[in-house]
A = this chain, B = another copy of it.
């Protein structure tokens, strides 16, 4: 096999079949995928409501401190299911490859996807590969879709938010966005910073088990960061207040944010969620999160309020209040 992606790898012919067999089936390695039908026929799922989600990934660079586009593609879709209360089971993977892409790089990304899928206890059961000519894409784009099951009786949504609910995050904010920007801008001064990219389904299962019935809504704080999630929640008709000093942000993230003129509260995370929990269960929820590796730096950051409905308000240490609006411009393109 050539060490670069050729247009023939996307033809549906012999090279396509070799690529599927030698890279995808070999590393993803499960009987459903290996059946190689046009559709995966799934083993029976547990009882509950099905949840379906999809995301495309166009992050640049393809590899960055703490992860790569493949790990991101698995985590992102697993996490979208998990914050809906669904146990993720099966993933699809669609690859758009640019002619000339290194096969070694592709294999590293696929190995990373396979390892992340194993860590998240999901299987990649069906896929697709397209190749476009040089200059028609930027190396590699990945789409994943995911299927999961919400157990009977569980309903998480902004409609469940109630004044008094306590807001928690499972750790520091902005790490993914700033790690990618650091790599992209070739800023070398904070070598310790890496993406928080991680599958959160195990942590969320622990949280739901520790505070049954008390978790009202969850959302992963990806593109647009914490503030975007909270504004989406506020649109359901509640008010939200958060305390600036309570929000965990790493010093390295603060430093890069200031250097680049960005706000870590709007920066992407790929291993962080926000939870709204009934007040009487908040301490229990916090302990449950902190007991897990991916929740060690969890914190209570604010509350749902009956005041200032529709608005997200930041309280500063000096007693001032600032409205945090939805991101309107200055996007960070291709952060995920």
Contacts and interface: CB of A to CB of B under 8 A. Distances in A.
Contacts of A57: 130
Interface in A141-168: 141, 143, 145-148, 150, 157
A184 interface: no
Nearest to A266: B13
Given A10-B331, A39-B80, A80-B39, A52 B92 contact: yes
Given A13-B326, A17-B326, A148-B39, A95 B131 contact: no
A176 interface: no
A54 B93 contact: yes
A228 B13 contact: yes
Given A137-B136, A329-B8, A331-B7, A92 B145 contact: yes
Contacts of A186: none
Contact of A143 (B54, B83, B146, B157): B54
Interface in A73-111: 80-81, 83-84, 86, 90, 92-96
A262 interface: no
Contact of A138 (B90, B132, B145, B157): B132
B45 A40 contact: no
Is chain A's interface secondary structure helix, strand, loop, or mixed overall? mixed
Contacts of A15: 328
B11 A224 contact: yes
Contacts of A228: 12-13
Interface in A32-57: 35, 37-42, 44-45, 49-57
B14 A326 contact: yes
Interface residues of A, number: 77
A308 to B, nearest CB: 19
B92 A53 contact: yes
Nearest to A145: B145
The copy count of this chain in the complex is 2
A128 B56 contact: yes
B328 A54 contact: no
A334 B97 CA distance: 11
Interface stretch (A215-223, A242-250, A251-259): A215-223
A331 B54 CA distance: 29
Given A38-B80, A96-B141, A327-B12, A50 B45 contact: yes
B80 A51 contact: no
A122 interface: no
Given A39-B148, A41-B49, A157-B37, A332 B11 contact: yes
A170 interface: no
Which 4 interchain pairs have the tightest Cβ spacing?
A: A13-B327, A11-B331, A12-B224, A12-B223
24 contacts: A7-B333, A12-B268, A12-B327, A12-B331, A13-B327, A38-B53, A38-B219, A40-B53, A41-B49, A41-B51, A52-B145, A53-B126, A55-B94, A55-B128, A56-B95, A56-B96, A56-B143, A58-B96, A58-B137, A94-B94, A96-B141, A130-B334, A133-B334, A136-B334
Given A38-B83, A45-B50, 15 more contacts: A7-B333, A12-B222, A12-B228, A13-B326, A14-B326, A16-B224, A39-B52, A40-B51, A42-B51, A52-B90, A56-B128, A94-B94, A128-B143, A130-B336, A147-B147
